[in-house]
Amino acid sequence: MQLHILTDPATTPLGLDVDPGFGECFTPGMILRDYEPGLGWQDARLVPRAPLSIDPAAVALHYGQSIFEGMKAYRDTRGELVLFRPEANAERMTLSAERMAMPPIPVAEFTELVKAFVAHQGACLSDDPSHALYLRPITFGTDGVLGVHPSKAYTFVLLGMIVSSYFKKGSKGLRLRVEDQYVRAVKGGTGAAKTAGNYAASLLAQRKAVEAGCDQVLWLDAQHREYIEELGGMNCFTVLDGTLVTPPLGDTILAGITRDTLLALARHLGIPTEERPLPLSEVLDGISSGRTTEVFATGTAAVISSVAELVWKGETFRLPDAQPIATMLKAKLTGIQKGTEPDTMHWLTHAQPTALV
Ligand code: COI
């Protein structure tokens, strides 16, 4: 694989005049790579970010054959650009591709493309410690044929944007509406894949949550409507009797890289952890009795966002304001990412491209 650089490197930090928030402050470049039937993945191009030309019959538009990832690069205390566990995103993108009958990009090639992109566009990231360079790789089926079958041709796009906090309310705790009508994922379905349809399926419930004064939906399992699963774009943790508990992975929960990282960090710090089915009733009863001391959402975009309130069938359950385990884990995680804490688990990768220059 070659990466053809067809635009100048970025030179200007972005997001300094107005808080960049999440989702709008794009870097000027993007990577494109096409998969051609019978030929496989072609060379990649780094080009100016611009609208794509796409067949209106494209499989992705009609049947949702589309997957993505979310990952971040940081500027460490020495000013160097580092990526956090990029191979984990590459591996998860491979699993998503396989689930959606798409050809994966080999992990090493994906990682090299990301490193090269960050090296080229990294000047957009200032040294403001609250900012990160968020990377959004996507792959989608482009065949303009309306039969329902896997596309034969695909496009991979890698976008970058400067982000600060995912939630506009900053560090104020989230209010979650526990969804009692719709479900996000079923056993045997696509819930563990990072595919567009999972997010499309969540939008109506998300709108209802916002109308009810909440920030996010907390999804329950589809079979029993009893067990906590995830927030849709984030995994969910609670602290019950001092133990950090999160639902186990399976085919209805996205295997969050932040989730995995926090479990490893907690074990390293001697915090008891459990991955087990987590009944909503146990969490709510625990809030009333004082056993449930923390609930928080985790993800690349959300980092660790504490939950202040759970709303279940109109009743509000309020959590304690202080969430010491979430606070400690967040300090450790962001410290490793920014280089103020030692990277003992070797999670950081420098952004310099190697094989591609
Ligand atoms: C992420 O955390 O990066 C995600 O992809 C979740 C979301 C913003 C869709």
pLDDT digits (tens, 9 = 90+) for 292-316: 999 999 999 999 999 999 999 999 9
Per-residue confidence (pLDDT) for residue 232, from 0 to 100:
86
Do 118 and 210 share a structural domain? no
In contact, 185 and 199? CB cutoff 8 Å: no
Any domain includes 79: yes
Measure 301 CA to ligand 1 centroid, in angstroms: 5
CATH of the domain at 46: 3.30.470.10
Which of 83, 133, 234, 260 is the pocket-test mutation for ligand 1 (most atoms within 8 Å of CB)?
234
Task: Give bridge partners of residue 217 from the DSSP assignment.
Answer: 177
**Residues 251, 150 share a domain:** no
Query: Distance between CA 282 and CA 137 in Å, rounded?
Result: 38
Domain range for 182:
174-322
pLDDT < 50: residue spans in the chain:
357
Tell me whether residue 169 is in a domain.
Answer: no
**Residue 245 burial by CB count (10 A; 0-12/13-18/19+): exposed, middle or buried?**
buried
Q: What is the DSSP letter of 124?
A: G
Residue 149 shares a structural domain with residue 10:
yes
* 182 lies in the same domain as 293: yes
What atom of ligand 1 comes closest to residue 69's alpha carbon? 5
Nearest protein CA to atom 3 of ligand 1, as residue: 70
pLDDT number for residue 353? 63
Is 335 inside a domain boundary? no
Q: How far apart are CA 164 and CA 180, in angstroms?
A: 32
Tell whether 186 and 68 lie within a shared domain: no
Rounded Cα gap, residues 321 and 308, in angstroms: 7
Q: What CA–CA distance (Å, rounded) separates 204 from 294?
A: 27
Q: How far apart are CA 193 and CA 86, in angstroms?
A: 17
- Residue 138 and residue 265 share a domain: no
Which value, to the nearest 10 degrees, does the dihedral of the CA atoms of residues 33, 34, 39, 43 take? Answer: -20
132 and 200, same domain (yes or no): no
- Nearest ligand 1 atom to alpha carbon 70: 3
339 is a domain residue = no
Clarify whether residues 12 and 108 are in a common domain: yes
Q: Identify the pLDDT of residue 357.
A: 42
Residues flanking ligand 1, CB < 6 Å: 70, 233, 299-301
Split into its structural domains, the chain has a count of 2
Specify which residues 66 forms β-bridges with.
140
The pTM of this model reads 0.95
Q: Are residues 218 and 308 in the same domain?
A: yes
Residue 336 covered by a domain: no
User: Which ligand 1 atom is nearest residue 72's CA?
Assistant: 3
The per-residue pLDDT for 172 is: 83
C-alpha to C-alpha distance for 254 and 233, rounded to whole angstroms = 9
| Residue 265 φ then ψ, to 5° | -65, -45
pLDDT digits (tens, 9 = 90+) for 154-184: 999 999 999 999 998 766 899 999 999 999 9
Two structure tokens written together for 208: 């209802």
Same domain, 284 and 309: yes
Using DSSP, state whether 332 is helix, strand or coil: helix
Which residue's CA is the closest to the ligand 1 atom numbered 4? 70
Would 47 be classed as within a structural domain? yes
Residues 193, 156 share a domain: no
- Residue type, position 311, single letter: V
Q: How many residues does the chain have?
A: 357
* CATH code of the domain in which 295 resides: 3.20.10.10
Indicate whether 277 belongs to any domain.
Answer: yes
The alpha carbon of 234 and the centre of ligand 1 are apart by a number of angstroms equal to 7
Report how far apart, in Å, the C-alpha atoms of 69 and of each of 45, 215, 256, 271 are: 19, 22, 11, 29
Atom of ligand 1 nearest to the CA of 71: 3
In terms of domains, do 196 and 82 share one? no
In 270-356, where does DSSP find H-type helix?
280-289, 324-338
Does residue 332 belong to any structural domain of this protein? no
